[in-house]
Amino acid sequence: MATLEDWTERLARAAISERDRRAIAASESARQMVLERLESAVEDHDALHGWTVVGRVLADENASPSLVAEVVDALVAARSGADSDASSPRAREGWAPAARAAIVEAFVAAQRELEAERVKDAWRFPRCVVRLDESTAAVAASFPDEDSDALARWADEVASGLAKMGIRRVHAEGTARSRAALADALSVAGIDLATQLRASR
């Protein structure tokens, strides 16, 4: 427990924003899990998975890259009692290189996934819809996902929303896949899809 507290205090000093401080608190359980398996981190998959969890928690909390870069060194310093930039204790911790790689890779991967979800969210109902008149709307049909099930869910959500708006006719522009998925959903909802003015890939 003392090591965890020291680790947390060192990270708090490295925090550059309130988001970093919230991320430190949110990651406490994951960091405790890491400490429990620390000595076997070089060859133990579960131990490395613990570092992956820490990286994903920090990404979910929108921690800064500078805080993420400090996580392993702060623990090295907490265990050695040395300053976080001391090279000799860092070198003695055989688990540290693998831990650094795992946490950074997990953080970057999670950030990319979160960004992809933010992009998809921009195309969801009602953001992709412009009402043209009482019964007509235009839809930007370029939902950025190649997965057929995800496209179908997006199209069903749009069609359902349009039906609730009282829309009976839709003009849609976008990718062929998104527009095809939308056409199927609109047909089920009893909404007419107007002839496309121009096609795009």
* Residue 48: other Cβ atoms inside 10 A: 22
Q: Are the CB atoms for 4 and 28 separated by under 8 Å? A: yes
Mean pLDDT of the chain: 87
Q: Rounded to the nearest 5°, which phi and psi values hold at 136?
A: -125, 145
Mean pLDDT over 21-47 rounds to 81
Q: Is residue 86 pLDDT above 50, yes or no?
A: no
Phi then psi for residue 129, to 5 deg, are: -120, 135
Name 25's Cβ contacts closer than 8 Å, sequence gap at least 6. none
State the CB neighbour count (10 A cutoff) for residue 132.
13
What does the pLDDT average to over 51-73? Answer: 95
* Mean pLDDT, rounded, for 130-137: 95
pLDDT reading at 139 higher than 80: yes
Is a pLDDT exceeding 80 seen at residue 4? Answer: yes
CA distance 150 to 164: 21
Contact (Cβ atoms closer than 8 angstroms) between residue 95 and residue 72: no
CA atoms in the 13 A half-sphere facing the CB of 111: 14
Rounded CA-CA distance 76/192 in Å is 64
| Section 160-166 average pLDDT | 96
pLDDT exceeds cutoff 60 at 85:
no
Mean pLDDT of 41-56: 78
Burial category of 69 from C-beta neighbours within 10 Å (exposed 0-12, middle 13-18, buried 19 and up): middle
Band (149; pLDDT cuts 50, 70, 90): very high
The predicted model gives 122-135 an average pLDDT of 94
Distance CA 68, CA 64 (A): 7
Q: Is the pLDDT of residue 197 over 70?
A: no
Q: Are strands 129-131 and 136-141 parallel, antiparallel or unpaired?
A: antiparallel
- pLDDT surpasses 80 at 201: no
Structure tokens at 166: 């009282």
Where are the domains positioned within the chain? Answer: 2-119, 129-193
Does the structure show a pLDDT above 50 at 179? yes
Residues 46-66 have a mean pLDDT of 91
Mean pLDDT along residues 105-127 = 91
